[in-house]
Amino acid sequence: MAKFHRYSFQNILLIARQYPQATRVAGFHTWRSVGRFVKKGEKGLMILAPLVRKVESADACSTGKESRIFGFRAAYVFDVSQTDGTPLPTIGVAHGEPGEYFSRLEQLVREQGIALEYSAEIAPAKGMSCGKKIILLPEMAPAEQFSTLVHELAHLCSVDSYVA
């Protein structure tokens, strides 16, 4: 995800105007660096890229050069749907089977005097922690339930370390 640029509001509007269903957008070379390539015949989405020049600092205290924008040029980016290649990694999705580790984590939570409850009322959140209580969304996949419990436990531990 670090390879994907965060676009200005104006460029987001330009992208949305040209390709409303765009989700992940990057330049040609960025797509190549993540193992994807632009499909033959695809048209790029035009955005405005800043032209930056290093100039002598006007500040008497500073001896270095500073970067300044002196204009813009047209640059072209492509949506993920316009590319083929290596699948992009998914973020925020836990995979696998925690096995006995979940029951051991539940035991640790209870030994710390933390109540563990399940409630559908917290949706769309997967978990919540407050005081000495953790609430999880019921019927999550085991790996997702495990990672959410670890996350919420970390919240309580970080709060306790500042209070103590």
Alpha-helical runs (H) found in the chain: 9-18, 28-33, 100-111, 142-163
pTM value is: 0.56
- Is pLDDT at 1 greater than 70 in this prediction? no
> 150 pLDDT band (50/70/90 cuts)?
very high
Q: Which of 104, 151, 110 is nearest to 132 (CA)?
A: 110
Tens digit of pLDDT for each residue in 17-43?
Answer: 999 999 999 999 999 999 999 999 999
d(CA 42, CA 18): 13
